[in-house]
Amino acid sequence: DISDGIAADISNVLPPDLRAVLDASAVPCAEFNGRISLEKALCDGEDYELLFSLSAASERDVSEFEAEYAARFGMPPFRIGKVCQKLGGVGARLWIFDGEKEKPFSKNGFEHAHSSAD
pLDDT of residue 36: 79
Residues counted in the chain:
118
DSSP summary character for residue 88:
G
Residue 97 backbone dihedrals phi, psi, to 5 degrees:
-95, 120
SS3 category, 97: strand
Element (H, E) at 76: none
Residue 87: CB atoms within 10 Å: 12
Among left, alpha and beta (phi > 0; psi -120 to 50; other), residue 74 is left
Given a cut of 70, the residues of the chain with pLDDT beneath it are 46-48, 89, 108-118
pTM of the model: 0.78
